[in-house]
Amino acid sequence: MTKRWVPELLAPAGNLEKLKVAILYGANAVYLGGQKFGLRSAADNFTYEELEEGVRFAHERNAQVYVVLNSFLHDKELDELPEFLEFLESIGVDALIVSDLGVITTIQNHCNIEIHLSTQASCLNVYAAKMWKEMGVTRIVLGREVSLKEASKIKKETGLEVEMFIHGSMCMAYSGNCVISNYTQGRDSNRGGCAHSCRFEYSLDFEEEQKKAYFMSSKDLEGIRVLPEFIDCEIDSLKVEGRMKSHHYVGTISKVYSDAIKYYEKEGHLLSEDMKEWETELRKITHRDYTQASLIEPAGADSIYTERLHDENEYVVVGVVLDVHEDDHLVIEVRSAFRPGDTLELVPFSGPSQEIEVSFATTIMDEPYEKTKPGYLVKIPYVKEAQKWNIVRARLS
């Protein structure tokens, strides 16, 4: 049987542990930042040692690693870039995500790593894509303003790979080109300092009335229902937003979209009873209301999120499995406190989540805990499907 073509699933990796979580839960590739030159200065970001370990971990599992260099740089910073580029090439990084023409030229002068154009460059049409192709770019990360139909046209008429966001927070500005943080916080959003000022509540002073509103905040993108359209349009890479988000977010999103892509690859459709379960899982992570934004039709007023971020179904990661002793116990590293008697949930790399009734919680030396604390190594009851690096979560009360 001929194998169906399916796209790459590209997940965010805010740090080394999230990189491992994303890949183990099904991502084909991850994107991440070093200590400089990216647009998420508040993320943990990777040291040289972590980059080397992360690339090795990914390649051992046939996954790709893309490094973001999508800040707009001054000449002094460009002078510092070549040493970093030579290091990235030496460890086998698969591609660089770039916005700045000066950065592209510097890359081409110092290494042979593939160049992907960042969404920050606002490439929205065939002519712009052809120009970037002439500059040496091999993939375009299209702006969120582009529909799937438009993305398909750009791919067909340029021969370039195209990458589109399928899930995550949306930006109210044009493909990230925003200066609100510069004015409200003194932080340059185009050089890694975005303060998410569009999420704040603002006072509106009209002649008729004064009121407060979150009028610039967008709902979150969710593309699980239009995954077949992504595949029909042969979008090469499905990107998930969120380098600053939690392990729970990274693991859940990677698992859900990976499972859906595998189902489509096998069956040729998504008419699956699992769709309800996939959507339920996507609502267990912290999120705003979901929207399909401009994937099919241009986003309208109904894509604005008018509330604070909250979610009654929010779950929290209470630990990560570090060791599995078959038929006896698991050892987890605690991230959020829990007690014996609590009900936890194991998230396996495939298949449905498994409840864990915490009948005991002890130290490694079998001394019982009344209440665990973050950082503790704790023995809890064995669960059949458990594997190292599985997430253990609990519903917030």
Backbone angles phi and psi of 132, in degrees to 5: -65, -35
- Report yes or no on whether pTM surpasses 0.85: yes
β-strand pairing of 64-69 with 95-98: parallel
Q: Please write the tens of the pLDDT for every residue from 4-63.
A: 889 999 999 999 999 999 999 999 999 999 988 766 655 678 999 999 999 999 999 999
d(CA 88, CA 92): 6
Q: What's the CA gap between 44 and 27, in Å, rounded?
A: 20
- In degrees rounded to 5, what are phi and psi of residue 19? -60, -45
Higher pLDDT, 246 or 160: 160
pLDDT digits (tens, 9 = 90+) for 117-148: 999 899 999 999 999 999 999 999 998 899 99
- Please tell me the predicted confidence (pLDDT) of residue 39: 64
First to last CA, the chain: 49
Q: Collapse the DSSP code of 357 into the 3-class scheme (helix H, G, I; strand E, B; otherwise coil) and give the result.
A: strand
Helix (H, G, I), strand (E, B) or coil at 314: coil
The encoded tokens of residue 233 equal 């349009």
The 3-state DSSP class for residue 88 equals: helix
Mean pLDDT of the chain: 91
pLDDT of residue 41: 59
The count of other CB atoms within 10 Å of the CB of residue 56 is 12
Query: What are the residues whose beta carbons fall under 8 Å from the beta carbon of 277, sequence distance 6 or more?
Result: 352
Q: How far apart are CA 2 and CA 331, in angstroms?
A: 43
218 strand-pairing partners: 304
Predicted pLDDT of residue 1: 60
Closest C-alpha to 145, from 118, 167, 127, 172? 172
Alpha carbon distance 315, 285 (integer Å): 6
* Contact partners, residue 240, CB within 8 Å, separation at least 6: 9, 10, 11, 12, 27, 165, 166, 167, 168, 253, 254, 257
> Which pLDDT does position 125 carry in this prediction?
95
Q: Contact at 8 Å (CB) between 78 and 109?
A: no
Nearest CA-CA partner of 26 in 269, 394, 290, 389: 389
CA 207 to mean position of chain CA atoms: 42
Say how far apart CA 336 and CA 300 lie, in whole Å: 39
Amino acid at site 341? G
Q: Tens of pLDDT along 150-170?
A: 999 999 999 999 999 999 988
Sequence-distant (≥ 6) Cβ neighbours of residue 56 within 8 angstroms: 91
H helices present in the chain, as ranges: 16-24, 48-60, 75-91, 101-110, 126-134, 148-158, 180-184, 227-232, 247-267, 274-282
User: Would you say residue 362 has pLDDT above 90?
Assistant: yes
